[in-house]
Amino acid sequence: MSEPDRMNPTPQPPDVSQTPPRATPPRCRFPRRLRITRKRDFEHTMRGGVRVIDRYLMIWGRRNGLLDTRLGLVVGRRHGTAVRRNRLKRLIREAFRLSYAQVPRGLDLVCAPQAGAELTLSVVRASLLRLVQRLEPALTSRGDRQRSKRGFISGR
């Protein structure tokens, strides 16, 4: 190489075989189809559904006849300021989003945090899965009883 070539070397393309492939991050969304948005749906779930409770959460559940399981949140003023209430809602939404694959399909779930409980993502996620497991048999047996009262053949 001559002296001017060393001063301005031609840039070489990077060796692609040396760089690790980039993994595209998963979409971290909570689409509208997975939310309970209508007052009527909240009321049907809370009045006509099954309720399960533990130290951290209270969940009302009901079959919705859809392919997706939807989540509704109820966080009252007793939980503190708007900042704290919004944080609790974000925490529960994220736990639901991360646990969605383990939750049975076709349910409406209305979730309310218990007052005074210190919640973390791992605690909320474990509580949500545990309560939904308890909810599923209750919905099945309740649905069978309701159908038999109306004159339909029981699923048992």
Q: What is the CATH number of the domain that holds 139?
A: 3.30.230.10
Q: For position 134, what pLDDT does the model report?
A: 92
The domain tally of the chain equals 1
Q: Which domain holds residue 112?
A: 31-145
Is residue 40 situated within a structural domain?
yes
Residue 47 within any structural domain of the chain? yes
Place of tokens 């997975």: 34
Among the listed residues 68, 107, 72, 108, the one whose alpha carbon sits nearest the alpha carbon of residue 89: 72
55-110, pLDDT tens digit by residue? 999 999 999 989 999 999 999 999 999 999 999 999 999 999 999 999 999 999 99
Report the candidate in 69, 66, 92, 70 with the shortest Cα–Cα distance to residue 79. 92
The pLDDT tens digits of the residues spanning 36-65 come to 999 999 999 999 999 999 999 999 999 998
Q: In the prediction, which pLDDT does 143 show?
A: 60
Q: What is the pTM of this model?
A: 0.72
Lowest pLDDT segment from 14-23, 35-44, 59-68, 141-150: 141-150
